[in-house]
Amino acid sequence: MLKSNVSRLYLAVFFLFSSLIAPLAHAEEVVVYSARIEQLIKPMFDAFTKETGIKVKYTTDNEGALLARLEAEGKNTPADLLITSDVGNLWAAARAGLLKPVQSNALEANIPAHLRDPQQEWFGLSIRARTLIYNTKKVKPSELSTYEDLADPKWNKRLCLRTSKKVYNQSLVAMMIAEHGEAETEKIVKGWVANLATDPLSDDTRALEFVAAGKCDVTVVNTYYYGRLMKKDPNLPLAIFWPNQNDGGVHVNISGAGVTRHGRNTQAAIKLLEFLSSDKAQNLFADVNMEYPVNPKIAADPFVAAWGSFKQNPMNLVKAGELQTTAVKLMDRAGYQ
C-alpha cells in the first residue's frame, strides 16, 4: 500500500520534472497566441485540425502581455499567428513590426476591405458592433438617433457608460475623431460625461444591468453582451437601437488575426487564417460569442439576426489604431474616467 503510494509519488514528480525540460518540436503544427479566450477559438481549431491534419497549439493571455511577449521573443518566438479581440492591438502589433504582410486571394475575397489592414498585416474575423441599448419603459426609439446625440442635454442623468479604459470605447472615440476631428469629438465626449447618471462602469454587462434596473435610460455596448443577458432573462426591459443610420453608420470593431513576422510555420498559419475566414468556419467563429461574421455572404446566427440589419461604418479600422493614443488623451481631458 505504502509502496504503491510512494511509486505513484515518484511518477508524479517524474512527470513534473519532465515538463521542466523544453519540449521537442512536432511535425506539422501551427502555434497561436490568442487574446480571444479558449472557448471562443477551440471549436474552430478542432475543425481545422480535422480537415487538414495540422495540429494547433495555442496559449491565451491579454493583448498587452502577448504583444510584449512576441517582442521579447523576437526571432525565437514559437508563435505563428496572433489573434486579438480588438483592432487597436492588431494595429499596435503591426506597428511594432511583429506581423508580416500576407497575400491571399481567399482572404481578400472573404473579408471586406475596411475590416483588414491596407498593408495586409492583419485581418478581421468577426464583427463586434458597438451600439445603443435603451430601457423600453423609459425611452421611445424615436428619441434616439446617434452616438453624438447622447451629448445633448436632454439625456442629462440618463446615460451610463463603460470605463474609457476599455479598448472598445477607445476605438469608438478614435473613429469619431477620424470623422469629426479632435475639437468636435472632445465637445461630444464632454457632453457624454455631463450626462452620466453614475460613474463609468467596469464592464458592458454592468452597464446593461444599470439600464435594466432604471438607474439610467441608455448605454453604449457591444451587442453580444446584450445577447448574453437577454438569453438568460428575455423579460428584461432592454432593446437594441442602431445609431447613425443616416450618416456614418454603426461603429464596429473586429476580433482578428495576423501572421507573426518570425513564426516558423507561416504557410500553416496562412492556411488557418484562410480557414477561419471561410464559409466553413465563419459561422462557428462568430456564433460562439453571438458576434457577426465578417464574410458578408454568411448570415449571422438567427438569434442575432433577429435584432435587425444595420448599416456599419465603412471607414477602414486602421484609423482606430492610429488615433487610439489621441482618443485616450482626449477622454482624459474630457474627464471620462
Partner 1 sequence: MAIWRSVPFIAAALVLAPVGVIVSAFFAPASDVWQHLLETTLPQLLINTFWLALGVVSGTALLGISLAWLTAVYDFTGRRFFSWALLLPMAMPAYVTAFVALGLFDFTGPVQTVLRAWLDSDLSWFPDIRGRAGVIVVMTLAFYPYVYLLARNAFLSQGKRSLEVAQSLGFNRKQGFFKVVLPMSRPWIAGGMMLVLMETLADFGTVAVFNYNTFTTAIYKAWFSMFSLPAASQLASLLILIIFVVIVLEQQFRLRMRYAESKRTERAQRIRLTGWSNWLVAGFVLSVLFLAFLLPVLQLCQWAMRSFTQDYDVARYLEFLWHSLSLSGLAALLICLVVIAMVYAARRYPSAATRYAIRIATIGYALPGTVLAIGVYVPLVWLDGRFSEWMMNWLQIETGQLIQGTLMIMLIAYLIRFMAVSHYPIDGAMQRITPNIDEAAMSFGLHGWAMIRKVHIPILKPGIFTAATLVFVDVMKEMPITLMTRPFGWDTLAVRIYEMTSEGQWEQAALPAVTLVLAGLIPIFLFMRQTEK
For the segment 188-227, give every residue that binds partner 1 (CB under 8 A): 198-206, 209-210, 212-213, 215, 225
Radius of gyration of the chain measured on its C-alpha atoms? 22
12 touching partner 1, by CB under 8 A: yes
Scanning 44-52, 71-79, 241-249, 261-269 for contacts with partner 1 by CB under 8 A, the matching segment is: 71-79
- Does residue 131 sit in helix, strand or coil? strand
> Which residues, in sequence order, are CB contacts of 232 under 8 Å at separation 6+?
none
Q: How far is the CB of 29 from partner 1 (least distance, A)?
A: 10
163 touching partner 1, by CB under 8 A: yes
Of 106, 118, 113, 117, which is closest to residue 275 (Cα–Cα)? 106
333 touching partner 1, by CB under 8 A: yes
Q: What is the DSSP letter of 306?
A: T
Integer CA distances (angstroms), 113 to 104, 120, 167, 289, 316, in order: 13, 10, 22, 23, 7
Q: How far is the CB of 104 from partner 1 (least distance, A)?
A: 27
22 touching partner 1, by CB under 8 A: yes
183 touching partner 1, by CB under 8 A: no
60 touching partner 1, by CB under 8 A: yes
Task: Find where cell 453614475 sits.
Answer: 198
Q: Which is nearer to partner 1, 35 or 188 (CB)?
A: 35
Among positions 9, 37, 109, 306, the unique one binding partner 1 when judged by CB under 8 A: 37
39 touching partner 1, by CB under 8 A: yes
Task: Find where cell 495540422 sits.
Answer: 54
328 touching partner 1, by CB under 8 A: yes
Q: Which is nearer to partner 1, 43 or 249 (CB)?
A: 43
38 touching partner 1, by CB under 8 A: yes
Instruction: Compute the Cα dihedral for 260, 117, 186, 210 and give only its sign.
Output: negative
Scanning 33-41, 98-106, 124-132, 297-305 for contacts with partner 1 by CB under 8 A, the matching segment is: 33-41
Residue type, position 286, single letter: A
For the segment 97-136, give every residue that binds partner 1 (CB under 8 A): none
Give me the phi and psi of 20, to 5 degrees please: -75, -20
Give me the phi and psi of 117, to 5 degrees please: -70, 130
Q: Are 269 and 78 in contact (CB under 8 A)?
A: no
**Half-sphere CA count of 31, side-chain side, radius 13 A:** 15
Report how far residue 48's alpha carbon sits from residue 128's, in angstroms, rounded to the nearest whole number.
23
46 touching partner 1, by CB under 8 A: no
Q: Which is nearer to partner 1, 107 or 323 (CB)?
A: 323
Q: Which is nearer to partner 1, 62 or 267 (CB)?
A: 62
Set of cell numbers at residue 321: 489604431
Scanning 61-69, 176-184, 237-245, 267-275 for contacts with partner 1 by CB under 8 A, the matching segment is: 61-69
16 touching partner 1, by CB under 8 A: yes
Report how far residue 214's alpha carbon sits from residue 260's, in angstroms, rounded to the nearest whole number.
46
Set of cell numbers at residue 55: 495540429
Q: Which residues bind partner 1 (CB under 8 A)?
A: 12, 16, 19-23, 25, 31, 37-40, 57-65, 68-69, 72-74, 76, 78, 85, 92, 95, 163, 165, 167, 170, 198-206, 209-210, 212-213, 215, 225, 228, 289, 324-325, 328-329, 332-333, 337
